[in-house]
A and B are shown apart, each in its own frame.
Chain A
Amino acid sequence: MTSGATWPALMMALLACAGCAPASRSELPDAPTGQRPALATDEAGLWMVMDRVEQDIRTSGRRVSDPALNAYVQGVLCNVAPDYCRDLRIYVLESADFNASIAPNGFVVVFTGALLRCRNEAQLAYLLAHEVTHYQRRHTLQQWRDIRSTVDALLFPEIALSVAGLGPAATLAELGAIGSILQFSREQEREADAFGLDRVAAAGYDPSESVDVWTNLMAEKKAAKDDEPFIFFATHPPNAERAAALREQAAALTASRNAGIDGVDEYRNATLAFRGGWLRDELRRREYDRTQVVLDQLTSDGVRLGEVAFYRGELYRLRGDKGDDQRAIEAYRIALTSEGAPPETHRGLAEVYRHGGDAKQARAEFDEYLRLKPDAPDRTMIETYLRTSE
């Protein structure tokens, strides 16, 4: 297995290059429904490139194949984009990054990291509606045409594919954002927010939920001490100005119609079964400060708190800072008195007790773990420990 990711640098170079272009409001008519661009056009060339990217995403190891989850997200997409429902295709990809993107040929990528961070259906609806506006207003095509003065447009598809093919760790799927590889201008972002929020309200969702998406992300970004942004932030910079504009528009929309629903029950029904796996992916990033914010937000939701507390214990056990073993024990203990703690809570406790030399407590917790999880992948090893540590 090799390492050495070079694609982010190239991608950022492209983004920077796109950023050189003068921002301009899209002068193109809206994307038509139910038809591909004429073959002799530059737009058809862009679609062809994205068709090849979509083919790779379709067979990617990152693709979440669960039909119910995909159908749910597609359903929300169709709620906010009934006009384009038949033209847009959802792909849910496993990645702890917060990201959603749309390609000019109509494939929509949603990372599980975004699903983990949405609190309800209205927030997911806002994310999707925002992306649909990029499609509707043909922002990528507009940006592509704008950068012709800095990059030969005929070369761009090849550059894009080269970048996409360079990912040793993530390959093409990680670049689900390739549809947004051209950084949108601020004006296009504002347009996507404004049009998107109209779609959210028209679909009967509470538009004010969009504000929470950004304020939660800003809290997470502030907590993360590293400079590495989510891919999404490269194309959708979070800032207070944006949140304020959304808040103002949401207030106007809710004043002129019913407040709309947040769809929290529907969202939990569709996603809660996957949350544990997404939290495990989140922890694998080893970005503990960022993950703490996510766990705090989930704790405030108050749903299946045993699971949330378990992953907080896992965070402390994995981080291993001074005092973390005790913090882990406290979190695991809270998990065991709450709903939804998995059997692995006992394994986590056992490991921490073993670190501290408390073999008796460790054995008791390992015993309980094996009792609750007969098919544990480490059963034989733990049984050996139990025999030899007496």
Chain B
Amino acid sequence: MPRLLILVAIAALAACTTYGSVGLESRKIASLYSVSPQIQWNRYTDGDLEVWTVDGPLLDSLQFTSALGDGDSLYEIEGQEQMPRFRGNMSESEVMEFVVDSFAAVGAQKVEPTGLAPASFGQRPGFRFDLAYQSGDGLDKLGSVLGTLNDGKLYLIIYTGAAQYYYPKYKQAVEALFASIKI
């Protein structure tokens, strides 16, 4: 094999995402809370994000943020500094705006939030809202976001999936997972 191809192959392997599996037992997240997974998920990490999926992240994805503090972004794009940044004094409405703008920054289109309302995040007060948007290649997607603000830190759980089939398929399990949060 030519040397260049070997190097390309090694680089490709290094870039591969490593998946693990998530068992049904309770799992600790972001050193703050635990959830009961409800179903078998596959997991990997993307920077500080922990991502769970069953059929692949383009079809269904459950993201757990670490504790986001002042100046942190939800997503990172290499070489792009100008990302939406969380600020500790944000209201829940502004957090929703931060999530919507973060989705747009990584290519989501026509992102429409709905239904921002108070919700329980385990024993803590939290909030939730829903999203409808399109992926860059035009696939209709839906999302549900549950979060809490705690001492200037933001914790989010973001469930997204293809509007047809995949989002509804795991919605019930995700709702049960939301309800299982223990601080």
Residues of A within 8 A of B166 (CB): none
Interface residues of A in 343-381 (CB under 8 A from B): 347, 351, 354-355, 377-381
B82 within 8 Å of A by Cβ?
Answer: yes
- Whether B114 contacts A377 by the Cβ 8 Å rule is yes
Name the A residues within 8 Å of B5 (CB-CB). Answer: none
For residues 74 through 123 of chain B, which have their beta carbon under 8 Å from a beta carbon of chain A? Answer: 75-85, 87, 89, 91-94, 96, 101, 103-110, 112-118
* Binary interface encoding of chain B residues 114-150 relative to chain A, with 1 for a CB under 8 A from any of its CBs, else 0: 1111100000000101000111111100000000000
A381 and B77 within 8 A (CB): no
Q: Within 8 Å CB of B138, what residues of A? A: 59-61, 63
A69 on the interface (CB 8 Å rule)?
no
Asked whether, in the complex, the Cβ of B137 is within 8 Å of the Cβ of A3, the reply is: no
Query: A347 — which chain B residues lie within 8 A by C-beta?
Result: 93
Summarize B's interface: helix, strand, loop or mixed: mixed
Are B136 and A381 within 8 A (Cβ)?
A: no
Is A241 an interface position by the 8 A CB rule? no
A61-B137, A171-B107 known; A287+B75 contact, CB < 8 A: no
Of B94, B104, B107, which one neighbours A351 at CB under 8 angstroms?
Answer: B94
Q: What is the distance, in angstroms, from A264's C-beta to the closest C-beta of chain B?
A: 29
Contact of A169 among B101, B107, B127, B133 (CB under 8 A): B107
On chain A, the residues within 8 Å of B85 by CB distance are: 286
Question: Smallest CB–CB gap between A176 and chain B, Å?
Answer: 12
Measured between beta carbons, the chain B residues less than 8 angstroms from A380 are: 115-118
- CB of A32 closer than 8 Å to a CB of B: no
Cβ of A174 under 8 Å from chain B: yes
Q: A1 near B137 (CB under 8 angstroms)?
A: no
B107:A168 contact, CB within 8 angstroms: yes
Q: Which residues from chain A contact B84 at a C-beta distance below 8 Å?
A: 284, 286
Q: For residue B136, which residues in chain A have a CB less than 8 angstroms away from its CB?
A: 60-62, 167, 169-174
A286 touches B82 (CB 8 A): yes
Q: Using Cβ atoms and an 8 Å threshold, which residues of chain B touch A381? A: 92-93, 116-118, 127
* Per-position binary interface string of chain A over residues 228-240, scored 1 when its CB falls under 8 Å from any chain B CB and 0 otherwise: 1000000000000
Taking CB atoms, residues of chain B closer than 8 Å to A228 are 80
Q: How far is it, in angstroms, between the C-alpha of A93 and the C-alpha of B108 when the chains are bound?
A: 13
Instruction: State A171–B94 Cα separation when bound (angstroms).
Output: 28
Say yes or no: A377 contacts B91, CB within 8 Å. no
CA distance A382 to B115 in the complex (A): 11
Given the known interface contacts A94-B109, A170-B136, A284-B104, the answer about A1 and B160 at a Cβ–Cβ threshold of 8 Å is yes
Whether B137 and A355, one on each chain, are in contact in the complex, defined by CB atoms closer than 8 angstroms, is no
Q: A60-B137, A62-B136, A171-B137 are in contact. Are A4 and B114 (CB under 8 A)?
A: no
- Known contacts A4-B77, A172-B137, A174-B136, A377 near B61 by CB under 8 Å: no
Q: How far is the CB of A154 from chain B (nearest CB, A)?
A: 18
Interface assignment of B25: CB less than 8 Å from any CB of chain A = no
A1 touches B103 (CB 8 A): yes
- Proximity bits, B53-72, A CB within 8 Å = 1, else 0: 00001000101000000000
The answer to whether the Cβ of B46 comes within 8 Å of any Cβ in the partner chain is yes
C-alpha gap A284/B108 in the complex (Å): 12
User: How far is the CB of A363 from the nearest CB of chain B, in Å?
Assistant: 13
Q: Given the known A-B contacts A59-B138, A287-B82, are A2 and B46 also in contact in the complex, defined by CB atoms under 8 Å?
A: yes
Asked if A285 meets B82 with Cβ closer than 8 Å, knowing A171-B107, A173-B136, the reply is: yes
Contact B57 A1 (CB under 8 A): yes
B76 to chain A, nearest CB (A): 6
A228 to B83, alpha carbons, bound, how many Å?
14
Q: Are A377 and B113 in contact (CB under 8 A)?
A: yes
Report if A281 contacts B (CB, 8 A): yes
Report the separation of the CA atoms of residues A188 and B101 in the bound assembly, to the nearest whole angstrom: 38
Q: Which of B136-179 contact A (CB under 8 A)?
A: 136-139, 160
Query: Contact between B129 and A377 (Cβ–Cβ < 8 Å)?
Result: yes
**Contacts A171-B135, A285-B105, A378-B96 known; 9 new A-B pairs at CB < 8 A:** A1-B61, A6-B78, A61-B108, A61-B110, A61-B135, A170-B136, A171-B137, A281-B104, A284-B84
A residues in contact (CB < 8 Å) with B: 1-6, 8, 56, 59-63, 94, 167-174, 226, 228, 281, 284-287, 320, 347, 351, 354-355, 377-382, 384-385
List 30 interface pairs A-B (beta carbons < 8 Å), by A numbering. A1-B103, A2-B57, A3-B76, A3-B77, A4-B78, A5-B77, A5-B78, A5-B80, A59-B138, A60-B136, A61-B108, A61-B134, A62-B109, A94-B109, A167-B107, A167-B136, A169-B106, A170-B107, A171-B135, A173-B136, A284-B104, A286-B84, A286-B101, A320-B87, A347-B93, A377-B116, A378-B92, A378-B96, A384-B117, A385-B91
